[in-house]
Chain A
Amino acid sequence: MIRLPADKTGKSDQGKNSGAFPGLKRRFGMEVIKKKIKANWQIYLLLLPVILYTLIFNYIPMVGNVIAFEDYKTFKGIFGSEWVGLKHFLRFFSMKKGMTVLWNTLRISIYQLIAGFPLPVILALMINSCKHMRFKKIVQTVTYAPHFISTVVIVAIINVFFSPSSGIISNLLNTLGVIDGPMNTLTSASAFPHLYVWSGIWQGLGWNSIIYIGALSGVDPALHESAIIDGANKLQRCRYIDFPAILPTIVLLLILNCGQLMSVGFEKVFLMQNSLNLSTSEILSTYVYKQGMQQSQYSFSAAVSLFNSVVNFAMLLIVNTIARVQGENSLF
């Protein structure tokens, strides 16, 4: 997905030119490059917007992360503020709150990974083994649909469904006699991870299966035909043909997911938060937002977020290395 192709930018031409005249090699090489740049100036023109955009909206904020090592004051600016080294990082680690926030983030993402990762694989295998085209299409269209609903609306749906006294779930459970009176799922700290993770699975299940369905469509039908002749039943074919076919994709996505263990999205958690479930729903990104935007502790907040992205990147590198050593698919 992200591996860059091996670049062979004009190497062969240069080799041809320099071989016969070793003395002229360097000057000649430089001239060739200059000539090529000139001949391709329009390519650089086409690249200019994306280069400028990335510079302004990605690289400059990246450099802005230095405020994590300063006591940033708005009137002094990034370059005038006092340098304090790792003070904010140490403060975060010494705080009890810091550990809670870290643990909350990890709990949600590990839960999400364990509960949410296998289901799309299973759905894809089932859709693939289903031969009724019309039914298959309906299942796909319906299960992909929630992906397109905005987070704001998803949270609104959660809220009306689990509404303490008038929600359909509360009504249903009351009728069945499971509970008596209003339910407090929305304001319960212990229910928050479940609510968050399972509503996410509801929304993403179908969409996340697309990539596996795509990989399954590449399986050679001849494999299935010969397996049938050899007396394999559908379950066995699923297990020994289809599953191995998507295994590289599974590993790749597992790597990506592990690399994102510390990056639980901000929006949905923030929208689902309330003062009563805060003890499990305060995660790194919402904490960063509150410290930075509401308390104006710019440097401290930037330090927490920088720590978060460094850990993310390190985890990506680690899982990628493990995958490469194991000989499975890797990102780079």
Chain B
Amino acid sequence: MRGNMKSKNISFDKTFDRVVVCILIIFLLIVAYPLYFVIIASISTPSAVVSGQVILLPKGFSLEGYRKIIEYKQIWKGYANTIIYVILQTLLSVSVTMMAGYALSRKKYPGRTAITVYLTIPMYFSGGLIPTYLWMDKMGLVGNPLVIVLLGAVSVYNVFIARSFIASNIPDELYEAASMDGCSHVKFFLSVVLPLSPAILAVLTLFSAVGQWNSWFNAMLYLKDEAQMPLQAVIRQLITSQSALALATDTGALQGEDMVQQALLTESIKYAVIIVSTLPIMCLYPFVQRYFVKGIMIGSVKG
């Protein structure tokens, strides 16, 4: 009887496994296909893409879209700007977050609860778009690239992630032992906490860097000068406005046949620009994936 049930279970489990794998493969294809399509569309002949001949494999071969992008100076300017914003904001973000995370992870000093509450309130209640804008304006930050670095640099949520990590990895007792030998908090932070926390440093760096790399709204809202625009803002402009068409028609007035050619080229520029802007993150991401996962996990542990 028991053996019978067991064998029944084994065959059920096998079917179950197969169904699960099938569904996972479907999920996988649904997620991967659009990304794959953008890649093959970007290297196919534009006319083949537009007429729907590119579905599973690239058709024809044309790097015309990429060539136009590479010639487009604004993209590279945007790249350079974004890299500068990413580096500055990440430095600011990680240092402020780690300092605060360490301080909050220590237990024995007056005012800790009050400071925690003070930092928690903005997590639930924000200033809102207009008051923030007016205040930035008052501080002279509208139109100033510094605003891109400063706004959103410190997230209280990340401070709490850092706190949880440090509290569970570097116990109070360790500091007490070090303080017997005359080690101060700042010295302890620099020479013990930072070297012992590469994982959380990686998590904070990646969260901040990806966030800034992908951000577009603050640039749209606060920056006026084209030369200061980050990559995402340049891409946005290229994709929506007629500038892609203008880029394609750099030879001046066109008619008939040429016009069609240029419209096709515009399409291929769109695919190429998606690849060019996303490639760095997509190439880097599989290697650092575990840190992102780690960040989520630390954040999900209470306390």
Q: Chain A interface (Cβ within 8 Å of chain B)?
A: 1-5, 7-10, 33, 36-37, 39-40, 42-47, 49-51, 53-54, 57-65, 67, 78, 123, 126-127, 129-132, 135, 138-146, 148-153, 156-157, 159-161, 166, 168, 171-172, 174-175, 202, 205-206, 210-211, 214-215, 231-235, 249, 266-267, 271, 285, 288-289, 292-293, 298, 301-302, 305-306, 309, 312-313, 316
- Please state if A7 and B112 are interface contacts (CB–CB under 8 Å): yes
Contacts A/B (CB < 8 Å), 19 sampled: A2-B123, A3-B302, A43-B185, A50-B96, A59-B127, A64-B130, A64-B134, A130-B17, A139-B24, A142-B31, A153-B274, A166-B49, A166-B267, A174-B52, A202-B31, A214-B296, A285-B129, A293-B221, A302-B128
B285-302 interface with A by 8 A CB criterion: 285-286, 289, 292-293, 296-297, 299-302
- CB < 8 Å neighbour of B185 from A46, A142, A175: A46
Q: Are A292 and B130 in contact (CB under 8 A)?
A: yes
| A141 contact from B5, B135, B221, B286, Cβ within 8 A | B286
Chain A proximity of B51: nearest CB distance (Å): 7
Whole-angstrom CA separation of A309 from B127 in the bound complex: 9
**Are A5's CB and B186's CB within 8 A?**
no
Contact flag A9-B113 (CB < 8 Å), given A2-B123, A234-B13: yes
Complex CA gap A172/B99 in Å reads: 55
B129 contact from A1, A234, A288, Cβ within 8 A: A288
Partner of A7, one of B34, B113, B120: B113
Additional 9 contacts, C-beta under 8 A, given A50-B154, A148-B210, A150-B215: A36-B109, A37-B111, A45-B185, A46-B99, A67-B131, A130-B17, A153-B278, A160-B274, A233-B12
A63 vs B210: C-alpha distance when bound (angstroms):
30
CB distance A168 to B52 under 8 Å? Answer: yes
Contacting pair B110 A1 (CB below 8 A):
no
B160 at the interface (CB under 8 A from A): yes
Judge if B2 is at the interface, Cβ distance under 8 Å. Answer: yes
Q: Interface 1/0s, chain B 232-250, versus A by CB < 8 A?
A: 1001100100000000000
B37 touches A168 (CB 8 A): yes
Q: How far is the CB of B123 from chain A (nearest CB, A)?
A: 7
Nearest CB in chain B to that of A298: its residue? B130
How many contacts A-B (CB < 8 Å)? Answer: 293
Query: Which B residues are CB-close (under 8 A) to A166?
Result: 49-51, 267
Cβ of B154 and Cβ of A126 under 8 Å apart? no
Bound-complex Cα distance A202 to B20 (A) = 19
A141 touches B213 (CB 8 A): no
Given A2-B120, A61-B132, answer yes or no on A160-B113 (Cβ-Cβ < 8 Å).
Answer: no
Is B72 part of the binding interface, using a Cβ–Cβ cutoff of 8 Å? no
In the complex, are the beta carbons of A8 and B107 less than 8 A apart? yes
Does A43 lie within 8 Å of B132, measured CB to CB? no
Contact B96 A302 (CB under 8 A): no
Contacts of A156 in B (CB 8 A): 235, 239, 270, 273-274
Q: Report how many residues on chain B are interfacial, defined by Cβ distance under 8 Å.
A: 107
Kindly list chain A residues whose C-beta atoms are within 8 Å of the C-beta of B35: 145-146
**B88 interface residue per 8 A CB criterion:** no
Interface assignment of B146: CB less than 8 Å from any CB of chain A: no
Q: Given B31, B52, B108, B281, which contacts A148 in the complex, CB threshold below 8 Å?
A: B281
Give the one of B110, B282, B296 with max A CB within 10 A: B110
Known pairs A54-B122, A126-B23; A47 contacts B103 (CB<8 A)? yes
Bound Cα distance A62, B232 (Å):
28
B127: chain A residues at CB < 8 Å are: 57-62, 64-65
What residue in chain A is nearest B297 (Cβ atoms)?
A214
**In the bound complex, CA of A44 to CA of B184 (Å):** 13
* Complex interface residues of chain B between 144 and 192 (CB less than 8 A to chain A): 150-151, 153-154, 156, 159-160, 184-186, 189
Whole-angstrom distance between the Cβ of A90 and the nearest chain B Cβ = 18
Interface of A: prevailing SS: helix
Q: Is the CB of B31 within 8 A of A146?
A: yes
Instruction: Look across to chain A and name the residue whose beta carbon is closest to the beta carbon of B161.
Output: A1
Q: Are A271 and B236 in contact (CB under 8 A)?
A: yes
A65 neighbours in B (Cβ, 8 Å):
127-128, 131
Measured between alpha carbons, how far is A123 from B23 in the docked complex, in Å? Answer: 9
Give every chain B residue within 8 A of A215 (Cβ-Cβ).
300
B216 engages A150 (CB within 8 Å): yes
Query: Is B102 in contact with chain A by the CB < 8 A criterion?
Result: yes
Give the docked Cα–Cα distance between A54 and B126 (Å): 11
A289 to chain B, nearest CB (A): 6
CB-CB nearest in chain B for A9: B112
User: In the complex, which residues of chain A have a beta carbon less than 8 angstroms from the beta carbon of B133?
Assistant: 292-293
User: Does B296 lie within 8 Å of A210, measured CB to CB?
Assistant: yes
Complex Cα gap A57–B126 (Å): 10
Q: Answer yes or no: B140 CB below 8 A from chain A CBs.
A: no
Q: Which of A7, A131, A135, A145 is packed against the most chain B CB atoms within 10 Å?
A: A145
Closest A residue, CB atoms, query B6:
A231
Q: Quick check: A157 and B38 within 8 Å, CB to CB?
A: yes
Q: Which residues of A contact B184 (CB under 8 A)?
A: 42
Whole-angstrom distance from the CB of A101 to the nearest CB of chain B? 15
* A residues less than 8 Å from B17 (CB atoms): 129-131, 234
Which of B31, B129, B130, B186 meets A205, CB within 8 Å?
A: B31
Asked if A37 and B110 sit within 8 Å, CB to CB, the answer is yes
Is A233 touching B13 in the complex (CB atoms < 8 A)?
yes
Cβ contact within 8 Å between B16 and A234: yes
Query: Would you call B278 and A47 a contact (CB within 8 A)?
Result: no
Task: Looking at the assembled complex, report how far the CB atom of B271 sits from the nearest CB atom of chain A, in whole angstroms.
Answer: 7
